[in-house]
Structure 1
């Protein structure tokens, strides 16, 4: 009986062992159950890796393009990226045969290793000869856009408003003038002045149009509000202190402009506009560029 009892105990133990032992799962390979089967995660193949690589390259290229465009496609120490228009009409300037090329070439030399674009436009008032570097390039006007507005409102508002826009470049007064007279009327007046590339809404103009403005209105009483302004560290700093200059200064992010009439023995109009620049660089180079022009025009 003991023997039978022992065998019974062993059988019960075997049954318990079989229950506790997990059974190995056999993969269901039946075609009709294919949709219910979970496929194992496959590693990336060549196709997926190429897609990721292309996305990364495009991201890098877009970032580089945006960075360069912020500097007006001009980086320090590198030539400016330009797409020339083969159908662009060549402008022939008629005037004195005097050679002004050294001023333009020295200007290019001084600015070639700086960020952004530096444009120059000069009119010799003794013979009306004009020349420059990127003189017809449409650029951000900054506060130069106040010039035609000051002329338009002259006689229509108190002179203190014109003085504020001239000597202090007061943006609050400028906004009040725009609200009072409206951009439509102001733009119509700007067009009548022949400033076809100047937009008050877009805040754009060209060095040439600003230069022509100063040439045309250099003897207007309004010019007195552009003398001894609070912005004398740019164009005026490169000119002897005893020389009168009526000028308008403007500044925005990556933009520093200054333009005016220099009433020297040999008077001239000078416009220096920038775009995509490093402000600190521009602040430092501006007096040097102004002196370069003054020395070249008054030899």
Structure 2
């Protein structure tokens, strides 16, 4: 099965065109540009503004929202619960595999054991106010950047998938995704009917091309996080690349918009979830689906060097 997407004129449940056209997420048709809610854990003192931003994303054509219980220890999930009604038709995608770590050197700690994954799904259900979460990503800690598992947090993927499949069978989650996974891990997980993969991936970090091709062949959505690179010190940034800057100038766009547009052009199974807490940036992100990259621009961008993102923290 091959994943497909198109600039479909069909409307979202809210009655507006899908941002970036449509793609598939399991058995759902969603906008190719969604919204990553992680940055909403920052403005804790301005709840109304954060909720307004979520609703604005839907008004601009996003109909899937990426979140996690560990974003503000349930704070962001609570925003999503209060921002949307069932009739909005928003597909919520959450993730498990880490827990909040208040007061720690890092804000998160691994939570990879099966009982921890189950507890995290239950926490997500409670904070989101849902009976079932449409998609839940199992955040593995196999590849960077970010946390790595040690000790009893090193858990075989088959044991994790067993509890995720049980939760799906119980109706608590609708579908299973993977994040921070290796190519071998994805291959082992395919019998569990994986619907999406979230790995760090951008124009300047294209080490997962073989995995991306496998996802396309299997009808699995590719949902890159850190789509513009540069999330941690030492990581390259898409927006600093001369070729990206040059293409942006030629199109009258920003380098960030070109970096996101390249991802949409690169392969049809890409779904974007750019995040921001700024309304102007949100509108710029949602507009990248209208950017056309001609053969010359694509060739210039393809020549950008790809570098490693495999940085472990903790």
Using the size of structure 2 for normalisation, the TM-score is 0.25
Q: Which is greater in Rg?
A: 1
Q: Between Structure 1 and Structure 2, which shows a larger proportion of helix residues?
A: 1
